[in-house]
Amino acid sequence: MEIIWKRKDEFTLQPKLYSFPELFAMAALVSLLGFLVENMWMLTRSGFIDNRNMNLPFLLGYGIAVVGMYLVLGTPKKGHFLLYYSLVFLFVSLGEIALGFTVEEFCGFYYWDYTSLPMHLTRYTSFFTSLGFSALITLFMYYCYEPIMSFVHRTMTPRRKRIAIALFIALVVDMLYSFHLMREIGDVYKSWKIYVSIPLK
């Protein structure tokens, strides 16, 4: 099964034709990058890395969000970065607020808390974190998304399609199971945590 998107506008490039396994592969890659970026943030802010509430080293929310943005917005055209960036900023801010309050309602605890950061809007998003995430996403969409998807499309085989589907299903199951555990314990799910000392010299 394939997705074809015919929407066309002036500031983004139209999404191309990719199969579901190819989109699943991209979602898995972005989920892995999200896991790494979050741990880099925690390392610089708090001095530790952890499982980020999942069992597998993937954060599927990032993968679904980026692929979803691609299907809706496409990739940014040269000369139209600011408008594209603004839309991504809005998407990131509203997405964080929606996810945070959903987990709070469903699981009964604060999933994360930005109230210690300046210019936060609710405890789940802040101006500067949204700026940073939006910049990373916009740059990734401009420089990386289509080259990676073109490579995935060229090298996709029946065996790799099965692997991509199986991996995506595993990530969905892991996410659902982890949220189930968090609802049961009423707190974040930490299976491992490593404090890292970074030498100043």
Rama region for 165: left / alpha / beta (φ>0; ψ in -120 to 50; rest): alpha
pLDDT at 12 (0 to 100): 64
Q: CA-based diameter of the chain, in Å?
A: 54
Whether the Cβ atoms of residue 34 and residue 62 lie closer than 8 Å to each other? yes
> Does the pLDDT value for residue 151 go beyond 80?
yes
Tell me the average pLDDT across 98-121. 95
The alpha carbon of 95 is separated from its chain's Cα centroid by a whole number of angstroms, namely: 10
Distance (Å, whole) CA 79 – CA 40: 31
> Does the pLDDT value for residue 197 go beyond 90?
no
Q: What is the dihedral of CA 123, 120, 75, 40, to 10 degrees?
A: -70
**Helix, strand, or coil here: 197?**
coil
> Does the pLDDT value for residue 7 go beyond 70?
no
Tell me the average pLDDT across 90-118. 95
User: Residue 4 — pLDDT band, cuts 50, 70, 90?
Assistant: very low
pLDDT at 200 (0 to 100): 52
> Does the pLDDT value for residue 120 go beyond 80?
yes
Residue type (1 letter), 91: F
> Does the pLDDT value for residue 185 go beyond 80?
yes
